Structure formats: structure tokens, C-alpha cells
Amino acid sequence: MEKLSEIQIRQGLSVFTNLTDNKLLTHLNSCVHCGLCAESCLYFLKTRDDRFTPAHKADIVSSVYRRYNTVTGRLFPKLVNAREMNMDTASEMVDLLFGACTMCGRCTMHCSIGVDIGFLVKTGRSMLSNMGLVPATLQSTIKAALESGNNMSIPVDELTSTLQWMEEELTDEVNNPEARIPVNEPGKNILYTLNPREPKFFPLSISAMAKIFFAARESWTLSTRMYDVTNYAYFTGNPGESKLIAARLWQEMDTLKAGKLVLAECGHGSRALRWESPNYMKAHFPFKVETSVETIARYLHQGRIRLDPEKIRKTVTLHDPCNLVRNGGIINEQRYILKRFIASFVEMTPNGADNFCCGGGGGQLAMSEYNDRRMKIAEIKADQIRKTGARIVVTPCHNCVDQLTQINVTYKLGIQVKTLAEIVADALILE
Amino acid sequence: MANIEIEGKIFDVDGDGFLSAPETWNEEVASLFARYDGIPELSDKHWAIVRIIRRNFIEKGMAPMIRTICQETGIKLREIYELFPLGPARGACRVAGLPKPDGCV
């Protein structure tokens, strides 16, 4: 195995010294090793392998911190279980922090003393990113976003043709030429975003949201220059790349002079843009921002859209995307929406802020290296869904949709997976 | 790098089961990969989709947009999702021997 260069090591360790506050040091030094976090983690629950306990994942980061940043760690490393940063340590960090964590944050919520374990995992990922050790499959998605403007390298003309196609389908469906998908129009109330997988492979969610905007008589637009709601650099904890990606939507809001940025159904994208990007940009938002889940709930609350309670007859359950729900606090809006028109709505156990991750978070879907592990831990979600007896699983996150689709085939659940906009659009009452 | 065995034949694949060497793809590979995913036999519609994906990959180096697949095959969007239950990426592109596309798929 190759050796790490001096520069790599220095860049990796820089996360411990380039600090703007003492949050990291507090959390690195606080774990009391009670072990309660183990039962919160999908990887531990499915494997019973002690290496996969969240405390162990956090400890590998703090053991490197101790080695270089404490007196006892420098003089007597063995005494305080301090680890040198070398290829062995780095490889183990890659395996545990990228390969065995969906950054779902459930351990953080269950920690007996409030250690932000997710933050420590992300710090470890930052170290690996600084050292150029991000799994290639994940880094290539970031590269695509940085170089082409979207994480699937969709050319603008292909996007435009797809949007025109979806507009024609929508116009036909509602039989009204005013049901449009406006593009690059300045001065609108809303600039809406997309996950690139929508135009590339799953465009029904685009026409669904356009139908909702039409029903609500909203003034909105998409941008073909910059529309990608994802930010995969969030998963690698690389602040420079995260900022470059987030800054483009900030810039597009300014260019189009839109009133509000509405984020497509994307857990990590919402987190990176709505809750993290002011930190990347070191500035307050110069515009309003909300997730489309909140937008739809608002339309319903204001009476701008109406839903037919007779339309969806099947039993429906809801999967809570970790970044949106546990980490973002958008817990009630999707329930408010579904309960307004779904006759048979059943919750999973547990749900809401205590939900189990689908297993595809934290960039796992992009990292082929860990596919087997990902589908193994997914059995927990498969069991949860099976117990509800639901035939439709709704989730406001395209990444979760893909993982749930794979779970459906692997564990033979016989369900349909839909985004929130899709199931709402199916039941819209158009005047 | 991993490998999978389907009906006695061994294929080099990535961790997600996508063919490691797309140039080694042929129609037999497509049939075997489809069976592995629970599609017992590829219909004419399956083949039409697979051929468009394959052609686009050879010409442009990437999977086509779903719009191209629908418009060139005449198959309705919702039917494509039924034909390939794992979806256009993990289902159809894998059967067509492409590398796994980037992004949330």
C-alpha cells in the first residue's frame, strides 16, 4: 500500500487547527463510552460488529486528534489510544466513515450526553477529502457537478427538450395551455430547482410540481443555467467545493431576481442549501428559501390547492428523509399534507425525527464499493415498510426514492414509491 | 471490482453489478443480467430500450435522457418503469452494459 505524503498528512490534520469556534474540540473530547449509540445505528443493528458502533467511528477521528494535538498523545500515544495518521488509519477511516455511515444523525439524537457524532464523522470525511482519499465514485459525482453545472452532466439542450416534452404532457393532461413549465423567466415569485435525476430518468416529478404550481396559480420559473439542488460535496465535508456548488444557486437567484428559492424534494440538497449554505458563504441569505414540502403545505393551508380524498384508495406510508426530517426539522408538513387526502395513512415505527434511514444516505447510493452493505442494512427499512401493510411509500427525497425502489425489488415488497409532489399531483382538483 | 455468476458464467462488475468492461457486452450478457434482476425474458420493447441506450452510449459516452428513449422507441414513460422495475439506470442501463451513471441513481 502507498504511503501518505507529508503534505497529505498535514492537509488532513489541518481540520483540527483551522477552527472558527470550539465546537469540534468540545465534541472530540466528550464521549463517555456509554455505548448507547450502538443500537441507534443501522450498520451495528444489522451486523452486531463493534467496529460499526457510532462511538467507534467518532473515536477514530478523536484518536488522531489526540496523537497530534495533546501533550500525552504526543509523548505517550499508546497510553491514551492515540493513533498516527498513516495509510492504515486512513484506510480504516475510509471504510468506517464513508463505507459504514449514512450520516443519518440517529446516533447523535440518541447520544446520552449530546455528542454530535454526525459532525465528527463529517469532520473525518473532511480529513479524507483534504488528503484526496474520497471514494472515486463519490468524487466523480462532485466532479461532474463542478465541471458541467449538474451532477449528471446533462447538456442544456437535452434539459430544455425534456422540459418542453413535460410541458406538452402537462398541457395535454390538464387541457389548458396555461399549465406551463416556464424557463429562465426573470422577476418571478419562485425559482424552482431540480435533482438532475428528474430530467435524466424520472421526469414525472417535474410535471407533478408544475401541475401543483399551475393549480396554485403561482408565478414561477426554472433555470436551465443552474437548477441542480444536490450538493455532493456536503457528503465529503469539503467546504470549498460545497461553497462553489451552493454559490451557483445564490448567483442564479440574483440573476433572475426571483423572490424565493424553492428546493426540490432532496434531503441532503435541502440541508446543504437551506441550513448550511449561509455558513459556506459566510453571509445571511439575501433571498427567501423553502423546501417544496413546505410550499405544498402552505398552498393547502391557504386554500390555494384542493385535493380529492377519494382519489388515492391504497394504503400509504411515509418515509422520513433523515436530512429533511431529523436534521432539518421538517416533520409535520408532509403529514399535514397526506392526512388531508389519504384515507388510509399508516406511520412506520419508529417515524419522524426517530426514523430509520433508508440506507442510501450520506452518498451511499453513489458509492458502488459498499453496495452489498447498503442493501444489507436496508432490510431494517424493508421490515418497517412491510409491517405497515402499505402499497404506496411516499418520500420527499429523490435519493430515498431510488434506495426504496431497490429495496422494493430486493426484498420483494410489491410497493409503489412516489415523491410527495407526485401523489399530491395525482389528487389535485383543478377548477 | 467484484464478480457475479449467472447461470455458470462469471462477469467482472462494479459493486453495484454494472459491467466493468462495457465493450465486452453482447446480447447474451443482456439476457443474463435481466434474468438476474428477475426479468425472465427480454421482450421486443425491452430490446428496443436496450438498443437505444447502447447506441447513445457508443455515440456520446453516456446514457440517453429518458426523453430520447421514449421518443425513439414510442414506449410510454410509465411503461418503461414497469418494464424495468429497478428503473432506467439500475435496471435498463445495467442490462445494456453501461457503467453506473453518477448522481442519485
pLDDT in tens, chain A (431 residues): 579 999 999 999 999 998 989 999 999 999 999 999 999 999 999 999 999 999 999 999 999 999 999 999 999 999 999 999 999 999 999 999 999 999 999 999 999 999 999 999 999 999 999 999 999 999 999 999 999 999 999 999 999 999 999 999 999 999 999 999 999 999 999 999 999 999 999 999 999 999 999 999 999 999 999 999 999 999 999 999 999 999 999 999 999 999 999 999 999 999 999 999 999 999 999 999 999 999 999 999 999 999 999 999 999 999 999 999 999 999 999 999 999 999 999 999 999 999 999 999 999 999 999 999 999 999 999 999 999 999 999 999 999 999 999 999 999 999 999 999 999 999 999 98
B 11-50 → A contacts, CB under 8 A:
14-18, 37-38
Establish if A1 belongs to a structural domain.
no
Q: Distance from A406 to chain B by nearest Cα, in Å?
A: 6
Residues A144 and A128 in one domain: no
User: How close A176 gets to chain B, by Cα (Å)?
Assistant: 21
pLDDT for A20 equals 86
Predicted confidence at residue B76, as pLDDT, reads 96
Crossing angle (nearest 10°) for helices A420-427 and A204-215: 50
Beta-carbon contacts below 8 Å between A and B: 92
- What digits encode the pLDDT tens for the residues A280-297? 999 999 999 999 999 999
Phi, psi torsion values for A327, nearest 5 degrees: -90, -30
Helix (H, G, I), strand (E, B) or coil at B5: strand
A425 Ramachandran zone, left/alpha/beta (phi>0; psi -120 to 50): alpha
Question: Residues of B with CB below 8 A from A372's CB?
Answer: 15
Architecture of domain B2-95 in this structure: Orthogonal Bundle (1.10)
Q: Which residues contact A339 (CB under 8 A, 6 or more apart)?
A: A345
User: What dihedral do alpha carbons A206, A360, A350, B85 form, nearest 10°?
Assistant: 60
Phi, psi of B15 (to 5 degrees): -60, -25
Which residues of B are marked as active site?
Answer: 104
Q: Does A398 contact B at CB distance below 8 Å?
A: yes
How confident is the model at residue A350, as a pLDDT?
Answer: 98
**With an 8 Å Cβ cutoff, are A201 and B88 in contact?**
yes
| SS3 state of residue A289 | strand
Q: pLDDT-based confidence at B104, cuts 50/70/90?
A: confident
Is residue A283, in this structure, part of any structural domain at all? Answer: yes
Residue with cell 472515486: A136
Residues 225-244 of A with CB under 8 A from B: 230
Question: Is residue A291 in a domain?
Answer: yes
For residues A399 and A231, the answer to whether their CB atoms sit within 8 Å is no
All three cell numbers of A110, joined, read 440518541
Q: What is the pLDDT of residue A353?
A: 97
Residue where a domain terminates, one of A301, A328, A355: A301
Domain residue limits, chain B = 2-95
Q: How far is A60 from chain B (nearest CA, A)?
A: 26
A271 and A321, same domain (yes or no)? no
* A213, A220 Cβ separation under 8 angstroms: yes
CB A401 within 8 A of CB A395: yes
- In whole angstroms, give the CA distance from residue B11 to residue B2: 8
Which CATH number do you get for residue A339? Answer: 3.40.50
CA distance linking residue A220 with residue A296, whole number of Å: 14
Q: Are residues A15 and A90 in the same domain?
A: yes
Query: Does residue A264 lie within any of the structural domains?
Result: yes
The count of structural domains within chain A is 3
User: Does residue A257 share a domain with residue A128?
Assistant: no
The domain that holds A110 is classified in CATH as: 1.10.1060
Same-domain status, A164 and A98: no
Q: In the prediction, which pLDDT does A1 show?
A: 56
| B57-93 pLDDT per residue, tens | 999 999 999 999 999 999 999 999 999 999 999 999 9
Compute the C-alpha angle A138/A139/A144, nearest 5°. Answer: 105
Residues A350 and A410 both lie in one domain = yes
Last residue of a domain, one of A240, A270, A301: A301
Q: A368 and B66: CB-CB below 8 Å?
A: no
Are A334 and A266 in a shared domain? Answer: no
Q: Would you say A150 and B101 are in contact if contact means Cβ atoms under 8 Å apart? A: no
**Burial group, residue A157, by CB count within 10 angstroms (0-12, 13-18, 19+):** exposed
Cα–Cα distance measured from residue B4 to residue B48, given in angstroms and rounded to the nearest whole number: 25
Provide, for chain A, the percentages of residues in helix, strand and coil under a 3-state DSSP scheme, each rounded to the nearest 5: 55, 5, 40
DSSP for A365-425 reads GG-GGGHHHHHHHTHHHHHHHHHHT-SEEE-S-HHHHHHHHHHHHHTT---EEE-HHHHHH
Instruction: Report if residue A72 sits inside a domain.
Output: yes
A310 inside domain = no
Q: Which three cell numbers stand for residue A254?
A: 440574483
Q: Which of A151, A165, A398 sits opposite B67 (nearest CB)?
A: A165
CA A230 to chain centre: 8
CB under 8 Å, gap of 24 or more: what pairs does A348-354 form? A348/A317, A348/A318, A348/A319, A348/A384, A348/A385, A348/A387, A348/A388, A349/A384, A349/A387, A351/A318, A351/A320, A352/A320, A352/A325, A353/A109, A353/A320, A353/A325, A353/A326, A354/A106, A354/A109, A354/A326
d(CA A131, CA A125): 10
Q: Do A292 and A334 belong together in one domain? A: no
A293 with A328, same domain? no
Q: Are residues A128 and A183 in the same domain?
A: no
Residue A194 belongs to some domain of the structure = yes
**pLDDT at position A156:** 98
Contacts of B89 in chain A (CB under 8 A): 197, 201
- The helix/strand/coil state of B2 is strand
Give CA separation, A271 vs A107, A111, A423, in Å.
18, 21, 23
**DSSP labels, B7-23:** TTEEEEE-TTS-BS-GG
Look at residue A22 in the predicted model and tell me its pLDDT: 93
Q: Which residues pair with B63 in a beta bridge?
A: none
SS3 B42: coil
DSSP A161-229: HHHHHHHHHHHHHHT-TT----BS-TT-SEEE-B-THHHHT-THHHHHHHHHHHHTT--EEE-SSS-B-
* CB-based contacts of A371-377 (< 8 A; 24+ apart in sequence): A371/B15, A371/B16, A371/B17, A372/B15, A373/A43, A373/A99, A373/A100, A374/A403, A375/A406, A375/A407, A375/A410, A376/A46, A376/A47, A377/A42, A377/A43, A377/A45, A377/A46, A377/A102
Asked if B105 lies within 8 A of A368 by C-beta distance, the reply is no
- Preceding peptide of A350 cis, ω within 30°: yes
**End of a domain among A133, A167, A194?**
A133
- On whether residue A307 sits in a domain, the answer given is no
Nearest to B100 among A153, A200, A368 (CB): A368
Range(s) of the domain holding residue A87: 6-133
